[in-house]
Structure 1
Amino acid sequence: MTNSDTPGVKENGNSALEGFSFDVRLWKVNKVNSKTRPYQLRWKVGGEVSSATFATLPLAEGRRSELWQAMRRGEAFRIHDGLPESEVRRAEAAAAAQAAVKLDPTWWEFSREFMKRRWRTAAAKTREGFADSLAAAALGMLAEAADAPDARLVRRAVRWSIVPAHANEEPPPDLEKVCVWVAENSLRLSALKESSIAEDVHYRLAYKLDGKLAAKETYKRRRRNFGAAMAYAIQKGYLDANPIAGMERVATAATGAIDPRVLMNAVQGREFLTAVSYVGSVNRNRGRRLVAFFGCILYAAMRPAEVVGLRLADCHLPEKGWGMVTLRETRPVSGKKWTDSGQRHDKRGLKMRDPEVDRPVPIPPVLVAMLRAHVKEFGTAADGRLFQNERGGLVGTSSYWRVWQEARHFAFPPHKVASPLAGKPYDGRATCITDWLRSGLPVAEVARRAGTSPEVIDRHYAGCLDNSLEDDNKKIEKTMGWGDEDGSES
């Protein structure tokens, strides 16, 4: 059958469609030598022959009927593949719809894509921070439904799913249905263009599940990570702008200043370290193994993760006088699923420094003596680390936290145990930094030794130095040459 036999079909040459023709010839179905698809249909468009094979005769005749009906409707056929115009348009529309979906993934899909992109270059703690931020935002990117799972399960499901290693794994039994639900009910990224959705996402970043305001640093980290995700979305063409960029915090969190009540004085510090040695049985030496560990925090302002990775080769411990530790790495605990090694501790460079940059920190004679005594009693780990657990492994966060808490009961009277005094290991670092500031060290030098910035020192510790007002006034009097008590010139 040719187009000339089909009523209403225009002659070739009058078509405005490039690559299409009305010159169509359709032949009958014939058999070919094939066991699986023995029925062949052939047709010619603009001089080009197209063909298709089928497993059964009804399928072949059905396809011939479809082409025949297109010819009767007066459709042009595409020359290179013989498809009628209506089928070409449907295929193009489907492809456009699929492309539009690709440019507008769901939050569930986008979180997995973004995390895969950032995983290779991010530290374990950074990965965990991204997971927390994406999971918090996910709560605002869900369709409203009566059968919605508990918010805690939703967050766990998102945190599990975005780990690239889990891409081809089945979810844990308790998250299997939750993952399916969240994947099906997750809103597309374009929903963030609606102000109500964007505001809800911002709320989720700023507040905890119980409706209480999240810690200031938690909010700052979540918003920073969400901003990084939005920058990636803009780069990929999913969005034009960060939808929460102009939003202000709806409430004010804690100022971030150190509470002076957590700081130990010199006597309390010594008593606390002595109390640490009493923790645990004599045979296990659980507390004694950590006396010098906590000494590094209290007298050198080291972060616990820095102490975990400290090696004897990086310590100068003279018999008398001040020594020096050169910090080169940190071993934060992040969990096995976030690290490349599959171990709980990640191995990274120092915080706020390039990977190859170290940080020399002078240490007082009291800490030098403690480290020398520690090495003499416990030796070092196989890789030269100063501190190890009973099995020679890395000192775990839960281990030193338990010892710290038990030591407080030995070191302080009950009313002090019930107070914020030395509530956590980081309070020992705060005590050391405050002592350095009170001794008159310049803020820049304190920041250098502590491995942070002068801005952080000023923001967190300014309120701890109020009791130095009289000393500061005397220094000013001495510098200005004021001799009498009323401040008048002599």
Structure 2
Amino acid sequence: MDATFDVRVWQIERGSGKLRESYGVGWSVGGKRHRKTFQTFALADGFRAELVTATHAGEPFNMSTGLPDRHVPKASSVGWYDFAVQFTDAQWPRVSANHRKNTARTLMIVTTALMDRDPPGVPSRRVRTALSEWAFNTNRRDDAPDDVAAVLGWVQRHTPTMDAWTDPLIVQDVLLVLGTLLDGRRAAASSVKRHRRVLHLLMRYAIIRGILLSDPVPESRNLTQRSASAIDRRRLLNERQTAQLLGWIYGRPRSGQRLQAFFATLYFTGVRQKKRSRCVSRT
């Protein structure tokens, strides 16, 4: 029988997340620990009150989901981490190696964004590596070293359930993280488009499985336009070509020197400012 009355509900734990504070509700069912994270205290308190009310009413709890043994939305009983792993395994045999790599990177970024806090004493880089190279790699996951497995177990316990995607603020925060590099710069439009494509596929998979009713990720209207107008760095002049061009301009009659100064200023202050010290003009 997959039900029990052995239920203990603990007090709400307050955590400090990357973008806002979070509140975690922890409880055990038949000795198995469960945890659910919320973005506001009111939501966490309401969920905890439901658990306590169910225990006082003598309702049995499902040992697999950790929830009262009654009809509950599927999204509330499926953890994000577990579902992301399931999605990875489902598409693994049907996609290319490059697609697998892109999927792993997208899921890694989303998972770290959904974590209520960082693992204590574990560098963020190790968490990202554990997710992208082990958790979301079907062939390697079962062979993960003990330290990596410990990190993944922590991540599994500290990411929310799939009903987190019904919160528009969480969706907005995740999309913001997907569009930002680790150093705070804006990610390339092509990268953002690729991340969102993977996320839409995952949400479609969740809808088919009956976990979500609709895709919570909004369609982007400007990504195509931004990608088309982005500058391909391979088409820019390199240092040697620029020096030759500036030298040729310098030798033009009448206004060559003034034009060289003008175009050199554009080059050094805008297009290739990281390389400016290596290009020598003739002024």
Pairwise TM-score range, normalised by the shorter structure: 0.5 to 0.7
Letter in 1 for 2:152: C
Q: Does residue 177 of structure 2 align to residue 204 of structure 1?
A: yes
| Cα distance per residue 1:329-386 (max 9 Å; x no partner) | xxxxxxxxxxxxxxxxxxxxxxxxxxxxxxxxxxxxxxxxxxxxxxxxxxxxxxxxxx
CA shift in 2, pair 1:186/1:149, >3 Å: farther
Q: Does residue 236 of structure 2 align to residue 261 of structure 1?
A: yes
Q: Which runs of 5+ in 2 are unaligned?
A: 1-56, 245-274
Q: Is the 8 A contact 1:139 1:201 kept in 2?
A: no
CA shift in 2, pair 1:147/1:254, >3 Å: farther
Letter in 1 for 2:142: N
Written as runs of structure 1 = structure 2, the 5 A alignment for 1:441-456 is none
CA shift in 2, pair 1:146/1:167, >3 Å: closer
Q: What corresponds to 1:224 in structure 2?
A: 197
Q: Is the 8 A contact 1:215 1:254 kept in 2?
A: no
CA shift in 2, pair 1:154/1:145, >3 Å: closer
Letter in 2 for 1:218: S
Q: Is the 8 A contact 2:190 2:227 kept in 1?
A: no
Q: Is the 8 A contact 1:115 1:162 kept in 2?
A: yes
| Cα distance per residue 1:46-98 (max 9 Å; x no partner) | xxxxxxxxxxxxxxxxxxxxxxxxxxxxxxxxxxxxxxxx99x737885437x
Written as runs of structure 1 = structure 2, the 5 A alignment for 1:467-486 is none
Q: Is the 8 A contact 1:108 1:158 kept in 2?
A: no
Q: Pick the structure with greater CA Rg.
A: 1
Cα distance in 2, alignment partners of residues 153 and 220 from structure 1: 26
Written as runs of structure 1 = structure 2, the 5 A alignment for 1:247-396 is 255-259=229-233, 260-262=235-237
Q: Percent identity?
A: 23
CA shift in 2, pair 1:249/1:105, >3 Å: farther
Q: What corresponds to 1:165 in structure 2?
A: 139
Q: Is the 8 A contact 1:151 1:209 kept in 2?
A: no
Cα distance in 1, alignment partners of residues 166 and 121 from structure 2: 23
Q: What corresponds to 1:114 in structure 2?
A: 87
Cα distance in 2, alignment partners of residues 141 and 205 from structure 1: 12
Aligned length: 182
Q: Is the 8 A contact 2:118 2:124 kept in 1?
A: no
Superposition TM-score, scaled by structure 2 size: 0.54
Match of 2:113 among 140, 148, 167: 140
Cα distance in 1, alignment partners of residues 161 and 187 from structure 2: 26
Letter in 2 for 1:178: V
Q: Is the 8 A contact 2:81 2:159 kept in 1?
A: yes
CA RMSD of aligned residues (A): 3.7
Bigger fraction of residues in helix = 2
Superposition TM-score, scaled by structure 1 size: 0.32
Cα distance in 1, alignment partners of residues 179 and 222 from structure 2: 8
Deviation at 1:146, TM superposition (A): 7.7
Structure with bigger RCO (C-alpha 8 Å, 6+ apart): 2
Q: What corresponds to 1:188 in structure 2?
A: 161
CA shift in 2, pair 1:418/1:137, >3 Å: farther
Runs of 4+ in 1 over 4 A off after TM superposition: 91-95, 99-103, 246-250, 262-265, 415-419
Q: Which runs of 5+ in 1 are unaligned?
A: 1-85, 269-414, 420-490
Q: What corresponds to 1:372 in structure 2?
A: none
What is the SS of the residue equivalent to 1:112? helix
Q: What corresponds to 2:70 in structure 1?
A: 96
